[in-house]
Every structure is written in C-alpha cells, then in structure tokens.
Chain A
Amino acid sequence: MKNRLEALRKARGIKQEELAEALEVSRQTIGSLENGRYNPSILLAFKLARYFGTTIEDIFIYEEDGI
C-alpha cells in the first residue's frame, strides 16, 4: 500500500527518530512504513493520522488490484 508518510514527515521537518519517539514505535517501523514494505495496524494508522492532524485516507492510498 502506498502512502504519503515520508512527504508529510519531511514537510514538518521532523526526523524518523522523532516520529518514532512520538508514536512509541521503532525507527525501523517508520522506515518500513515509508518504503511501503509494512502496512500498519489500524491503531497505528489512527495514531499517525492524529499526529499529522489528518485522516488515514490522506496518508494511505488504497489501490485495489486491476483498478
């Protein structure tokens, strides 16, 4: 699943470590999320959305296969 996490983070001028610290996850998790290698749980998705003051749909882009 694609996402705009890296763009949002960079727009705020924060490091992966700082975001990880704020969300109480590891820095590697933030890196994997940004690379699209890992899809977060709904709880982490909500935490991210609240942190950036936006909605989950604004961060994560869901694309069904073949559409």
Chain B
Amino acid sequence: MNRTQKKRLFQILLAAGIVLLALALLLEGLVSDALGGMLCGVGSGLMAMSGSTLLNLRHEAKHPEMARQHDIEQRDERNVAIRNRAKAVSGEALQWSIMAAAWLSIGLDAPLWVPITATCVFVAKSVLELYLIVRYQREM
C-alpha cells in the first residue's frame, strides 16, 4: 500500500470514527447503553488511530528523508526478525496466561463459562498455530 492509498484509507476510517461517535451522541437514550458505549468506544478508537496515523503521514510528507529512514527501519530484516520474535514470544506468554486464568477462575468459583471460554481460546490458538506450521512447511 503506497502513501496515497494509506492516507485515503485512514481518512475514511477517521470519517467512520466521527460518524460513529456522532451516532453515539445523537442516539443517547434511544439505544441501549451497551450499544451506545460500543459506538462511542469504536468511534473514539478509530478517530485516535486514524488521526495519529494521518499526522504521522503529514509529518513524513514534510520530511521525506525522515520518511525514507522510517521505511528502511520498517523493512530492515533484523527489525522484522526482532518484531516477529517478540510477537511469537508474547503470543505464547499470553496463551499460557489465559490457561492460568482458567485454572484461577476454577479456584475462585467463577461461573463455568469463564474457564470454558479461556480453554476454548487456548485450544483455538493451538489449532491456529498447528495450521500455520503445516501451511508454512508446505510453502517453504
């Protein structure tokens, strides 16, 4: 995705965020609190993410040398390897934390859906990991 396409995408996301936030304010009292909160949360999130990205893109457009350096940093193979390793390790840590939370919830007499949901997330992550291993083994 080039810079123009990226800018267009985040402008659309910013507009969507504004619309969602406006809807949350306009529909206050007409819709459930849960739906209003969801509109407000998603709208604010989209606005913040898109706004910061657009500001970054604007800054990079004014300073092309900095933008080039940023691109190099993003594509740099060592940085990519570091990012991928960090993602893998943090994903693994999160997976086992979820399992620990499941055991803890059993110990704390939490409703049954809590450990079941946690176990399902654990199993889903393991299945996805296995699927990706098989897929990458075929590709490489």
Residues of A in contact with B (beta carbons under 8 Å apart): 20, 24-26, 28-29, 32, 38, 40-41, 43-44
Contacts and interface: CB of A to CB of B under 8 A. Distances in A.
Interface residues of B, number: 7
Contacts of A38: 78
B77 interface: yes
Contacts of A20: 72
A25 B73 CA distance: 7
Interface in B64-90: 72-73, 75-79
Contacts of B73: 26
CB-CB nearest 7 A-B residue pairs: A29-B78, A26-B76, A25-B76, A41-B77, A38-B78, A26-B73, A24-B72
A15 B10 CA distance: 38
A41 B79 CA distance: 12
Contact of B75 (A24, A32, A41): A24
B72 A28 contact: no
Contacts of B72: 20, 24-26
B77 A40 contact: yes
A63 B92 CA distance: 33
A40 B81 CA distance: 11
B23 to A, nearest CB: 43
Nearest to B75: A24
Contacts of A29: 76-79
